[in-house]
Chain A
C-alpha cells in the first residue's frame, strides 16, 4: 500500500467519525485531536476503523505515537502489509 493510499484510508476513516472535517484544512504536522473534536470514544472508533481496514493492531500503549496525522501515517506505514 502506497503512502497516498494509506493517507486516503486514514482520512476516510476519520471522516466517517467526524463528517464535518475538511480534509484539505488538516495540518498533518499538528496534533489531530487539537484540530478535530474527537473524544475518547471517537478516538477508539477511529482506531477500530483503521484496525478493520488495515488489520493493524494498535496497543493502548502506542496511542502516544499517533498524535499527528504524519505520526499516524508513519506508524501505520511501518506495520501495514
Chain B
C-alpha cells in the first residue's frame, strides 16, 4: 500500500487546503498526473502524484486544511491486490491518535483527522494538536479576500528566512545586447505572431547554459550542505496583478530549444495568473530569474528564494555609451545582469565567472 502525502510546494508552505480531488477510488494513476487541487497561501496548485498506482482510498475530504506531510490517499502499487475489502467502520486501520491528543483536540474543537502525526508510528500527539491550534490562531482560513495578505505573509516568511540564513553576495555585469536584439528582430520578422520570441526566453536559456559550467549556482542548500542539481529548473519570477509574486519553474531549460522555452514561458505565465500551477513547478526551481527591466529599472539585486542558492536579475535594456572591441565609443543597447548568490556555496570569483559566461552566451544568440 502506498501513501500519497501532501507535498511541500515551496519552502514557505506548511499547510494547504484541499479544494478538489481529480481521482476516485479504483482509478489508475501515472506518475506526474494531477490528482488534486490544493490551495496554498500563494495559489491554487495542481498537485501531481509521484508514483504509479491504483487509488485505494481518499482519506481527506475537500475543504479540509491539512499540514504538509498528511496522508491524503492510499494507493495500491502496480500489481498489489487490495487486502481487506473496504470496510464501513475503520477500527483496524484506525489512525494513531494519542488519548491526550484526542481529548485536547476535542476541547479545542480541532478535527484530529486533519492532523499529521509526528509521534512514534505517525501517531498524532499533543504537540501536533498544539501546533495546529497555534496555527489556527495565527492564520485564519484563507478566504479569497485575504489571499493577498496570505501571499504577503508567505513572501515575508521566505524572504526573512533568506536574509536571516543566507549570506548573500551581489555582482553585476553590463552586457551589450546589440547582437541579441538584432538576432531576435530578425528571427521574429520571419515568424507569425503566434511563434514570436521574447528576449526573456533568450535570457533564460543563456542562464541555463551558463549554469552547466557553474553548477554551484544551481541546486539547494539543505541540512547544512549544498545539493547540486544537474538540470536547470529555472524559477521565473512572475508578479501577480493583484500584488505579490510567484516563481514557478520551467523544467530542464538547458535541454530545450528557444521555441520550447518561449512556449513554456507563455504557458507558465498564463497558468500562474489563472491559478493553475502544478505542484512540481512550485517545488522544483533550482534557481530563480527575475526581470524587472520591463518596469524600467536598470538593475535588480534580488533576494534568494530558499533553499535555492542563487538568483539572476535582469534590468532594462537601455541605450548607453559603449566602448566597442576596437576601442571606439558608440551607443549600444546595454543590459545589466546581476547575480545574488549564497556565499556558503560559492565565492565571488566563481560568481563573476558565471556572469561572464552568461554575457558570452548572450553574445551568441544563434547558439542559444
**Quick check: do A and B touch in the complex, using CB within 8 A?**
yes
Q: Which residues of A contact B (CB under 8 A)?
A: 18-20, 37, 39-41, 44-45, 47-48, 51, 57-61
Tell me the nearest residue of chain B to A56, going by C-beta: B193
Inter-subunit contact A40/B266 (CB<8 Å)? no
Tell me the nearest residue of chain A to B273, going by C-beta: A17
Inter-subunit contact A51/B185 (CB<8 Å)? no
Inter-subunit contact A60/B185 (CB<8 Å)? yes
* B68 within 8 Å of A (CB atoms): no
CB within 8 Å for A40 and B196 given contacts A20-B242, A59-B189, A60-B188: no
* B58 within 8 Å of A (CB atoms): no
Could you tell me the distance in whole angstroms from the C-beta of B169 to the nearest C-beta in chain A? 28
Inter-subunit contact B194/A41 (CB<8 Å)? no
21 of the cross-chain contacts (CB-CB < 8 Å) are A18-B241, A19-B241, A20-B241, A20-B242, A39-B294, A39-B295, A41-B198, A44-B193, A44-B266, A45-B269, A45-B270, A48-B193, A51-B194, A57-B192, A57-B193, A58-B193, A59-B188, A59-B189, A60-B185, A60-B189, A61-B185
Inter-subunit contact B193/A40 (CB<8 Å)? no
Q: Which residues of B contact A (CB under 8 A)?
A: 185, 188-189, 192-194, 196, 198-200, 241-242, 265-266, 269-270, 291, 294-295
Give the CA-CA distance A20 to B148 in the complex, in Å. Answer: 15
User: Which of A37, A51, A60, A61 is in CB contact (< 8 Å) with B241?
Assistant: A37
Residues of A within 8 A of B241 (CB): 18-20, 37
Residues of A within 8 A of B199 (CB): 40
Inter-subunit contact B192/A40 (CB<8 Å)? no
9 closest A-B pairs by beta carbon, nearest first, are A39-B294, A60-B188, A51-B193, A40-B198, A41-B269, A20-B241, A40-B294, A47-B193, A48-B193
Residues of A within 8 A of B291 (CB): 39
12 new A-B contacts at CB < 8 Å, known A40-B294, A60-B188: A20-B241, A20-B242, A37-B241, A39-B294, A39-B295, A41-B269, A44-B196, A45-B269, A48-B193, A51-B194, A60-B185, A61-B185
